[in-house]
Every structure is written in structure tokens, then in C-alpha cells.
Amino acid sequence: QAGRELLSDSDVGRTIARMAHQIIEKTALDSGDPHVARVVLIGIPTRGTTLAHRLAGRIEEFSGVRPAIGSLDITLYRDDLRSKPHRPLERTSVPEGGIEDALVVLVDDVLFSGRTVRSALDGLRDLGRPRAVQLAVLIDRGHRELPIRADYVGKNVPTARTEDISVLLREHDGRDGVYLRQE
């Protein structure tokens, strides 16, 4: 039922910690350099937002700098809304201080075709003009249909289109874990 385990509970914690270190290193957010852009994490609901909060906590723990966190509901920006099952609108929250001139790190649980990220880029445009945008995903399962790649990847998982990644997070599911399921 749960499928083949790709990341155990403790693997998920370690993976998020590693991604936090990589974000600190690549963005130099703790450099103290006034020319370095302010880092803002923006999660794509639901689990992307939860991951953004986790990453922010680890980044603060490791660097002493707590990035602002926001959330971007991309439902309205999907170009294939009609082919998707209806789901209620999820909240967008603009991070403290906005995104103007910030280095925005979009955060999501799974990267697949890239269409969600493309929509998120459209959504960001309505919030302001960041200096740069990067992408962090816990799982990259392949099958991209657009020229989009992640800057930070927890785990690359080659999948068949018929398979499905199940991402469990403590805040929603009582425990952490990533599983590969056959449809």
C-alpha cells in the first residue's frame, strides 16, 4: 500500500538539512555582504509550504539568518486547469518585506512536468520583481515538458509516468517518508 521506500523518516530530515546547507552556500545569505540579495523562501501549497518552513528553520539553525517565508497558490495560473480535478484555492501569503529585489527560492515537494513551477513564475510576477528566482524540490521525478530545472534537489528519482511519489510529512501525515507507488 505505502509502496517502495525511497527516503525513510530520518532520510527526509537529513535531506532537508543538506538542502538548507546548499541554500546557505549558494545564496551566501550569511555573508553579511550588503550587496547579497535577501533570501525569501516561497512554498507551493500544500507540502511545498511545509517544506519551506522546515528549510527556513534549518537555515536559521545553521546560519543564524532566518529567511522570510511566503506561500504561492498557483491554481489560478495553471494553463491546464480544466483537465485537473477541482480543488479549493489554497492561500497565497506574501513574505514579510515582499519579494522586490530579493532572491526568491521556490519550494515544492515533487518536480514533474515543470508546469507548476512555470505557473509559480507567473504568480510571482504579480507579487513584485525579485532579483533572481531559484527552485528547491524534495524529489525530482523527471518527465519535464518545459525547460525548467531545480537548483536544489533532495533526491532524483527516475519514475515511470504511471508511478506516483508519495511524500509524507510529519505536519500532515504524522511522520516523514517518501515512497514510490504503482498506480
Tell me the CA distances in angstroms from 22 to 67, 92, 124, one per residue in order: 14, 26, 23
Going residue by residue from 118 to 147, which x/- string records binding to ligand 5GP, judged by CB under 6 A?
-----------------------x------
Which is nearer to ligand 5GP, 93 or 166 (by Cβ)? 166
Shortest Å, Cβ 44 to ligand 5GP:
5
Q: In the chain, count of helices (H) and strands (E)?
A: 4, 8
- Residue 178 within binding range of ligand 5GP, rule CB under 6 A: no
DSSP annotation of 157 reads: -
- CB of 98 vs ligand 5GP, minimal distance in Å: 23
Strands 152-156 and 132-140: parallel
Q: What are 153's three cell numbers?
A: 534537489
Residue 118 Cβ vs ligand 5GP, minimum distance, rounded to whole Å: 8
Q: How far is CA 117 from the centre of its chain?
A: 9
Among residues 167, 169, 176, 177, the one that binds ligand 5GP under rule CB under 6 A = 167
CB of 23 to ligand 5GP, least distance (A): 19
The residues in 21-80 that bind ligand 5GP, with binding defined as CB under 6 A, are 44
Binding mask of the shown chain, residues 78 to 107, with x at each position contacting ligand 5GP by CB under 6 A: ------------------------------
Helix (H, G, I), strand (E, B) or coil at 82: helix
DSSP secondary structure, 116-155, as one string: HHHHHHHHHHTT---SEEEEEEEEE----SSS---SEEEE
Residues contacting ligand 5GP: total by CB under 6 A: 15
Kind and range of the H or E run holding 96:
none
Contact with ligand 5GP (CB under 6 A): which of 56, 68, 110, 150? 110
Which spans of this chain sit near ligand 5GP (rule: CB under 6 A)?
44, 108-116, 141, 164-167
